[in-house]
Amino acid sequence: MYKINSHRLSPSIVLVSAVALEQSVLRKQLKANVCQMSVSF
């Protein structure tokens, strides 16, 4: 979802924003979407 605008933003900003969002958002989603994440991977 956040990687959609990654091509438009500079790589450095994308990495910083992606890591920050992933660490905060993924942790919350992982707890709720553990089943979906495991199935997708």
Q: Quick one: pLDDT at residue 29?
A: 73
pLDDT over 80 at 20, yes or no:
yes
Q: Quick one: pLDDT at residue 19?
A: 86
Cα torsion for 7, 12, 14, 15, to the nearest 10°? 130
Q: Quick one: pLDDT at residue 17?
A: 80
Higher local confidence (pLDDT), 5 or 15: 15
Average pLDDT (19-40) is 73
Task: Give the global pTM.
Answer: 0.35
Q: Quick one: pLDDT at residue 41?
A: 56
Token digits of residue 32: 């709720």
